[in-house]
Amino acid sequence: MSLAKRALVPSFARPASWVAIVRADSYQMDLGTLIFNALREFDLRLRDKRVVLKPNFVEPDLDGVINTHPAVIAAARESFLRLGAASVQVAEGPGHERDTEAIVETLRLRDFLGPLPGVFVDLNLDEVRRVPLQTRASRLRELYLPRTVLEADFLVSLPKLKTHHWVGATLSLKNMFGIVPGCCYGWPKNILHWAGITGSILDINSTVRPDFAIVDGIVGMEGNGPIQGTAKASGVLILGEDPVAVDATAARVMGLEPERIDYLAKAGTLLGHLRPDKIRQLGESVRSVRTPFAVLPAFQKLVASS
């Protein structure tokens, strides 16, 4: 299971991480084949495992810019099933919108996944269990967390490639805020902000550690993300077993310096690799797909110089 099953290992003692960048120009492509082939590059042992995909759903959005696109979710689900997973659920607890049904209906998630009961879980209303946190980066010491996530054998963070008006960029680590249940903490999950956003990201990801990350960067969001920004076509999917390395790579694709994103810089000490020399690239190079994202003036300092 994903709950603290692996010891936290300082980056200097970790082997390099592999990250795949796959070109995908549109959501109409055969994403199932693209993702399946990319996943085969990793030594994933999924036979009979319960896989949970955690996309990023924020609010009903007709334009398809805010939320992880359902085509990517469906392609990932199909791929993990082809790799032998016993079940693949999609689970999310939106941070602002209580009516999760309104989001999945607007997204037409059912059209991509088939009937949703049994496949989709609203983490905001799931059963919860009290979990002591593995690190003390924030003022949180424990959280109630949803059973679906805690009982998963293999947890996949499936975010959208977006800027974020509080932390600079929201990727696979920040996406894990969505596992914190609204039924205990409300909408928004304001306790995480008061405990410190950076520290909360670190504490959650050190405790419930995503086994894999797939960033939907086919169309991302730049500017005043994560809700009111502008669509930005980047034409990539970014995948890997080390969510820090995936996020660092995604940030570089966005033209940002991951070392300057506070939570990523700190995550690079214990949760995964940040430095380029510790990340082995599969597929496309960062340089070949780099698509600089506009950021708010407050985050100009994150922009890479070249």
Partner 1 sequence: MLLRENGGRDASPEAVTSGRFSDTSSRHFLLTSQNSDGGWGYHPATPSSVEATAWASLALLSRAADPSPAEACARARAWLLRAQMPDGAWPAFPGQRQGCWATSLAALALHLEGGSPEAVERGRDWLLEAWPADGNLWWRLRLVLARGTVVRQDNSLHGWSWTPGTASWVEPTAHALLFLRSLPQELLSPRAAKRRQLGERMLYDRMCPGGGWNSGNPQVYGVAGIPRIGPTAWALLALLPHSQRAENQMSLGWLEGAYPRIRGAASLALAHRCLRAYGRPVGPLTPDLGDLYLRNCFFASVLTFAWIALAGSGEENRARQAGGDRATS
Contact residue for partner 1 among 82, 135, 187, 304 (CB under 8 A): 187
Tell me the closest approach of the beta carbon of residue 289 to partner 1, in angstroms.
28
Contact residue for partner 1 among 25, 30, 48, 127 (CB under 8 A): 127
Residue 111 and residue 70: Cα distance in Å, rounded? 9
Query: Can you list the alpha helix ranges (DSSP code H) found in the chain?
Result: 31-39, 70-82, 100-107, 109-113, 147-150, 182-185, 190-194, 197-207, 243-253, 262-270, 286-289
User: Which stretch, 14-22, 112-120, 207-215, 286-294, contacts partner 1 (CB under 8 A)?
Assistant: 112-120
190 binds partner 1 (CB under 8 A): yes
Judged on CB neighbours under 10 Å (0-12, 13-18, 19+), 28 is exposed
Q: Which residues 6+ apart lie within 8 Å of 126 measured at CB?
A: 91, 93, 146, 147, 148, 149, 181, 183
Print burial letters for 52-86: b (CB count within 10 Å at least 16), e (below 16).
bbbbbbbbbeeebbbbbbbbbbbbbbbbbeebebe
Contact residue for partner 1 among 50, 82, 266, 290 (CB under 8 A): 50
Q: Are 59 and 94 in contact (CB under 8 A)?
A: yes
Tell me the closest approach of the beta carbon of residue 162 to partner 1, in angstroms.
15
What x/- string results for residues 67 through 106 when contact with partner 1 is judged by CB under 8 A? --------------------x-x------xxxxxxxx-xx
Residues 205 to 264: which contact partner 1 by CB under 8 A? Answer: 224, 227-228
Q: Measured from the CB atom, is 82 or 165 closer to partner 1?
A: 165
Q: Measured from the CB atom, is 40 or 96 closer to partner 1?
A: 96
- Contacts with partner 1, residue ranges (CB under 8 A): 50, 59-60, 87, 89, 96-103, 105-106, 110, 116-118, 120-122, 125-128, 144, 147-148, 151, 165, 183-188, 190-191, 193-194, 224, 227-228, 296, 298
